[in-house]
C-alpha cells in the first residue's frame, strides 16, 4: 500500500469518526428513560415509545461498535499494521478496504 493510499484511508476513517460523533450528539436524548402519563397515553403509545427507545439504544450500540472499529483502524495506521489481515497477516485487498476501511480480515479469512 502506498503512502498516498494510507493517507486517504486515514482521512476516510477520521471523516467517519467525526460523522459518528455528530450522530451520537444528535441522538443522545433518544435513549433516555420513557416516562409517560398513563392517564393521557394509551397502552399502545407506551409500547411504541418503549420500542422506539430500544431501537435507539441498539442504534447507539452499533455506533459505539463502529467507533471502536474506526479507532482500531487509526491505531493500526499509526503502528504500521493497517491493511494486513489479523489472522493470516497477508495484505487485505485495496478494493476491500475501499468498501470499508475498518476491515481487519482479508476476504479469505472473513469467511
Q: Is residue 13 part of a domain?
A: yes
| pLDDT tens string 65-85 | 999 999 999 999 999 999 999
Nearest to 71 by CA among 10, 8, 4: 10
Q: Into how many domains does the chain fold? A: 1
The set of cell numbers assigned to 95 is 478494493
* pLDDT at res. 44: 67
Give residue 25's domain range: 3-82
Query: Looking at residue 49, what is its pLDDT?
Result: 78
| 44 occurs within a structural domain | yes
Nearest-angstrom CA–CA distance, 73 and 33: 34
What pTM does this model have? 0.77
Residues above pLDDT 90, as percent of the chain: 60
Asked which of 22-26, 67-71, 86-90 is least confident by mean pLDDT, the reply is 22-26
Does residue 108 belong to any structural domain of this protein?
no
Amino acid at each position: 500500500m502506498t503512502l498516498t493510499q494510507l493517507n486517504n484511508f486515514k482521512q476516510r476513517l477520521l471523516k467517519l469518526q467525526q460523522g459518528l460523533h455528530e450522530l451520537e450528539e444528535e441522538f443522545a436524548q433518544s435513549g433516555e428513560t420513557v416516562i409517560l402519563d398513563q392517564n393521557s397515553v394509551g397502552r399502545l403509545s407506551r409500547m411504541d415509545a418503549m420500542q422506539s427507545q430500544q431501537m435507539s439504544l441498539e442504534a447507539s450500540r452499533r455506533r459505539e461498535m463502529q467507533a471502536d472499529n474506526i479507532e482500531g483502524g487509526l491505531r493500526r495506521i499509526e503502528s504500521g499494521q493497517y491493511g494486513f489481515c489479523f489472522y493470516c497477516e497477508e495484505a487485505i485487498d485495496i478494493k476491500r478496504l475501499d468498501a470499508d476501511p475498518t476491515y481487519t480480515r482479508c476476504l479469505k479469512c472473513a469467511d
